[in-house]
């Protein structure tokens, strides 16, 4: 279980980051808040990680969620950035960890194998005889 002071420090850092972005022009506050919520969801779910890894994953997930949401809004896929930021921030670290494990270990995770088989099937078409 994490120490109360370290959990408080993470919460304080998040609060300071959220407040600071509100005064910076051009920053999408909805995407920042959604990205932070998704990153926090991932960090709280992955309780078997060390505090240093949790903090690293929190930051990577937060930034990834923000950029994915602003990209989705920029391409017209959605009008609001909060929910896409939350979802992508919660998923992006899981996806990247799976890809990195595949690159290091040589075996793709099961979810990635399914996705790749579907993509190859869509590109190659059905080969019924």
> Domain residue spans in the chain?
4-90
Nearest alpha-carbon partner for 39 in 31, 29, 27, 28: 31
- Are 111 and 98 a contacting pair, CB within 8 Å? yes
pLDDT in tens, the chain (129 residues): 556 556 666 667 667 766 666 677 777 888 888 888 888 888 888 878 888 888 888 899 999 999 999 999 999 998 888 899 999 998 888 888 888 888 888 788 888 888 888 888 776 655 554
Distance CA 89, CA 43 (A): 10
Question: What pLDDT sits at residue 5?
Answer: 58
- Are 10 and 50 a contacting pair, CB within 8 Å? no
């Amino acid at each position: 279980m994490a120490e109360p002071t370290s959990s408080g420090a993470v919460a304080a850092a998040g609060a300071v980051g959220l407040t600071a972005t509100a005064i910076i022009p051009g920053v999408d506050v909805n995407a920042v808040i959604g990205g932070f919520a998704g990153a926090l969801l991932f960090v709280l779910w992955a309780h078997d990680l060390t505090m240093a890894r949790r903090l690293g994953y929190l930051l990577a997930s937060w930034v990834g969620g923000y950029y994915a949401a602003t990209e989705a809004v920029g391409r017209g896929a959605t009008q609001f950035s909060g929910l896409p930021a939350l979802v992508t921030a919660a998923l992006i670290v899981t996806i990247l960890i799976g890809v990195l494990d595949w690159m290091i270990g040589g075996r793709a995770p099961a979810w990635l194998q399914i996705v790749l088989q579907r993509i190859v099937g869509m590109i190659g078409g059905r080969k019924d005889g």
